[in-house]
Amino acid sequence: MGKRHPSSEPRRKRTAPPGSRSDAALVELNIEKLVQGGDGLARPDDSPVVLVAGSAPGDRVSCRTWKEGRRLLRGEIVELLSPGPGRRSVPCVHAAACGGCQWLHLTEETQLTAVDDLLAEALRRLGGLDPTDIERPSCRQVSDGTGYRQRARFQLDLRTPALGFAGHRSHRVVDLERCLVLEPELDTLRGAVRDRLPELSTLLEPLGRAELRVDLPRSDAAAVMLDLGTVAGDEPNENRRAAALDLLRELPPVATASLSDRNRPVMQHGQAIEFRRGPTHDREAHVGFHAPGIFLQPSRAGAAALVAEVLEQLDVIAAGRSLDVLELHCGTGGFTLPLAAAGHRVTAVESQVPATQLLERAATEASLPVEVLADSDLSQLRRLIEDGRRFDLVVLDPPRGGAAKACELLPALRPEAVIHVSCDAATLARDAKALSAAGLVPRRAQPFLLFPQTAHFETVTTYEAQASCI
């Protein structure tokens, strides 16, 4: 689980609100389906398609629309004329303004069905594959939809002040009284930081904005990173920055805290947090270590589900053998340690040096012989190919941008199989197309709704090499 993006929510392109645009128009629309990103799609006669936020399949809406590019219209619901069958009442008071949960208005069944449809469409349209040729079990949901997030990325408006998430298609910070999808301990910590926000604002003058990344690998030990995003001349003096960090360290259950400027570490207090990986599966219950700024799967139960699926597919591939496994984007070892504990020889690659140090520490404590390489996936792949190395299996868990160039190189390692963990259907389809062209054919794609109420989902895809490629 080596994704190096700080959370499962990508930064979304912001546009001016429709009410401020001269090209806004009011129309009635029928919502046909959901698309990547979570919006509903309508096809008006003699008009480009319209993407409507907060809509559901089957809705009829009165909608204000405006142009975004030459062939796309965006829409904002003015009135819900008749609801679709998958719509439900929204249980969050912040839903209308907050951009965090795109699908809070949809039933869980509708969300699961949408994921299945979106995955199939991406494979067909972007991957050039026939989804019916691939085993695609129905999307799995691994939590009840509330209280499941162990990490969050909060925006701080230091002038208002406010703490929360950016509004939908807006830079405005929506101040949260509570958040339904956060683990209770994480939401409590969010509230504690919010209470101290006036003090933080004073310490961090002249800044107007900052970002607070909070991870909760253990319910009693949080790791926080305060990113100031400053440019030369804007930053508070060192004493004030240190005082802001001390303020955060005082808040239970914060165990370690760091401060960075535009992701560049400046200062840190506290040690790495030791925790147990995975609450549900004995082969994944290994000691792990976490520090601020290192990727942590946002869903605790979701991390366990992904590991269980990878191990299940690995068992099918191995058929009782011990395999040579290459893992790319290994992070701190979410997959590495279970793979090694299952008796396989693992070479793990990760470009983020602090993550590799934590992985090596965990592997040493577990007495697992893991070869850890601190390098970019492409540089290391080229070196392994030059050295004539080959691997029975490649496991890759790339960031949201996918692994297009790595997929072009993988066939040179002559793997029997590839297991690909993806957090974006579009880049998954692109990577699947590249692997398929090289003779690594997708056999199974299992989607997971790890982040209910949002349009983000993960997929574990297993590829098998044609005999001529081995």
Band the pLDDT of 135: cuts 50, 70, 90: very high
Which of the residue ranges 93-97, 118-122, 359-363, 419-423 would you say has the lowest mean pLDDT?
A: 93-97
Q: Is the pLDDT of residue 35 over 70?
A: yes
Is 80 exceeded by the pLDDT of residue 426? yes
pTM score of the predicted model: 0.91
Considering the chain, what percentage of its residues have pLDDT values greater than 90?
80
* CB neighbour class for 430 (10 Å; exposed up to 12, middle 13-18, buried from 19): buried
Q: What is the pLDDT of residue 3?
A: 57
Number of other residues whose CB lies within 10 A of the CB of residue 96: 12
Give pLDDT, residue 8.
36
pLDDT at res. 419? 98
128 compared with 279, residue with greater pLDDT: 128
394-404 confidence digits (pLDDT tens): 999 999 999 99
Chain segment 166-198, per-residue pLDDT in tens? 998 888 999 999 999 999 999 999 999 999 999
The answer to whether residue 49 scores a pLDDT higher than 50 is yes
Q: Given a cut of 50, is residue 6 above it in pLDDT? A: no
Which band of pLDDT confidence, cut at 50, 70 and 90, is reported for residue 306? very high
Q: What pLDDT is attached to residue 276? A: 85
Phi, psi of 191 (to 5 degrees): -65, -35
List, for residues 348-406, the tens digit of each pLDDT value: 999 999 999 999 999 999 999 999 999 999 999 999 999 999 999 999 999 999 999 99
Please classify residue 119 by burial: count the beta carbons closer than 10 Å to its beta carbon, then call 0-12 exposed, 13-18 middle and 19+ buried: buried
Extract the tokens encoding 123.
């494979």
Q: Residue 469 — very low, low, confident or very high, per pLDDT cuts 50/70/90? A: low
* Per-residue confidence (pLDDT) for residue 264, from 0 to 100: 77
pLDDT of 7:
37
Question: What does the pLDDT average to over 57-80?
Answer: 91
Q: Is 32 exposed, middle or buried (0-12, 13-18, 19+ CB in 10 A)?
A: middle
Tens of pLDDT, residue by residue over 205-261, are: 889 999 999 999 999 999 999 999 865 556 778 899 999 999 999 999 999 999 998
Pairing of strands 209-218, 440-449: unpaired
Which range (66-80, 107-121, 202-216) has the least confidence?
Answer: 66-80
Q: Assess whether pLDDT exceeds 50 at residue 281.
A: no
Q: Encode pLDDT of 99-110 as tens digits.
A: 899 999 999 999
pLDDT value at residue 295: 94
The DSSP annotation for 75-91 comes to EEEEEEEE--TTB----
Indicate if the pLDDT at residue 12 is higher than 50: no
Average pLDDT of the residues of the chain: 90
Average pLDDT over residues 65-91: 92
* pLDDT at position 288 over 80: yes
285's tokens = 């219950």
Over 90: is that where the pLDDT of 122 sits?
A: yes
Close Cβ partners of 142 (under 8 Å, ≥ 6 residues apart): 299, 301, 302, 304, 305, 448, 449, 450
pLDDT score, position 267 = 87
Distance between CA 331 and CA 350 in Å, rounded?
6
